[in-house]
Chain A
Amino acid sequence: MAEAGGAEEISIVEVEPIQGRDLIFIEGFPDVGLVGAIASSYLVDRLEMREVGYIDAEFLPPLISVRNEQIKELIRIYHKNNIVAIVSDIPIPPHMIRPLSQSIVNWIKRKNGKLLISVSGIPEPNRLDIERPEVYVLGNKPEITEMLIKLNGVNRFKDGFIAGIKGMLLREAVRAELDAAIILAQAHYNYPDPGAAGQIVSYLSKILGVEVDVKPLFESAEELRLKLRDLMMRTDQVMRGIQKSRELELPPVYL
């Protein structure tokens, strides 16, 4: 099945049709500290989720990745039980952000998805002094935030900016009346941050009602950071094009 996304041809292809009720979609496109990318890939790996599809678009770079002699799409879709994860090997080019977020939201809406969760990092200049990064949540309507805040140890995301595809997905979801949320952990802005991803994974596992051991993630953190240096560099370049640094600022208040 393919989704035609306006000016930009975007196809969301289910090689194996994704079926099920109350599907929860998790998206981990690379941005701040690669927190979303690390957390979503780790979840896919630990839950042994099945690769069931991919997202392709006219203006994605002509690339494939090869892993273990297997040809992989750049943006892949995984599925297990009621969880669907979208994992990407590249940061989303700025001009693709709007059409892609529209396509994803439309697709989830058609699948009668229950919730779309974006996973990301919140840039924290004092990250070095923080042992356990705090987790922040924001729903696209108050009921969603209330539901997510019930779990202990998380904070509300009160004021700030959310740049890039995570912000656009939240906005498109509001417009399409799809329940959506973003979960963020304090992270290094442009260093891969498995520690922050670990906090997200343990929080997500509670929401999803699955058991995930995060210890291996912390143990292999240094190696992971080295492996992800290239992706972080590329992502940093893209983040500059979408005013990601605004996330360090507060929206103007006049009263």
Chain B
Amino acid sequence: MEEWRRSVWRRVLDEFRMVEAEVSRMEDELFRLMREAEERSGCMTPLYNLYESGDEVRLTADLPGASKEEIGLIAGEDYFRVEAPCRSPLRGGEGRRYVLHLRLPAKIDPKSVRARYKDGVLEVVAKKKVAGYRIKID
């Protein structure tokens, strides 16, 4: 490769790295704040996935060390709240709780919510609330 091209490439690469370093710095700040809040309150935010597809809103949350009987799940029109004690001998150990409070991307019908807890993963599925007029297509 010619010298000038190499130096341009090098500069682009350096630019890339700076952006990556900045993003990673911001992420790290986020982790720190989350960690500190968790340590202070004794509440852990579980890993989770929330998405809407078609006429459903679906949440899964990783709650290892919890038990079906002890999971508290509240569904509102626009939120899910999951609470559960975490029975684990790890760091801090007993007394730690999972708490997840999520605002939903769409309004749901709370009566339609179904949930199951399997292999340490909680799955919650809700039907979206449909309100509107049916329009005839010409």
Residues of A within 8 A of B47 (CB): 190-191, 229, 232-233, 236
Interface size class of A (residues with CB under 8 A): 20 to 34
Residues of B participating in the A interface, judged by any CB pair closer than 8 Å: 10, 13, 16-17, 20, 24, 27, 31, 44, 46-47, 49, 60, 62, 64-65, 86, 88-90, 118-121, 123
Name the contact of B65 in the complex, choosing from A191, A223, A241 (C-beta under 8 A).
A223
Task: Find out whether the CB atom of B62 lies under 8 angstroms from the CB atom of A128.
Answer: no
A227 in the interface, Cβ–Cβ < 8 Å?
Answer: yes
- Closest Cβ–Cβ distance, residue A115 to chain B (whole Å): 32
Interface residues of A in 209-255 (CB under 8 A from B): 221-223, 225-227, 229, 232-234, 236-237, 241
Q: Within 8 Å of chain B (Cβ to Cβ): is A208?
A: no
Q: What would 5 A/B residue contacts be, using CB atoms closer than 8 Å?
A: A7-B13, A128-B121, A192-B62, A223-B88, A237-B27
The main secondary structure of chain B at its interface with chain A is mixed
Is the beta-carbon distance between B64 and A190 smaller than 8 angstroms? no
List residues of A whose CB falls within 8 A of some B CB: 7, 59, 93-95, 128, 188-192, 195, 221-223, 225-227, 229, 232-234, 236-237, 241
* B16 / chain A contacts, CB cutoff of 8 Å: 95
Establish whether residues A188 and B20, one from each chain, have CB atoms under 8 Å apart when the complex forms. Answer: no
Q: Which residues of A contact B60 (CB under 8 A)?
A: 128
Contacts of A232 in B (CB 8 A): 47
Interface centre among B13, B24, B86, B123 (most CB of A within 10 A): B24
Known: A191-B62, A232-B47. A59 touches B119 (CB 8 A): no
* Contact between A225 and B64, CB atoms less than 8 A apart: yes
> Which residues in B have their C-beta under 8 angstroms from that of A94?
20
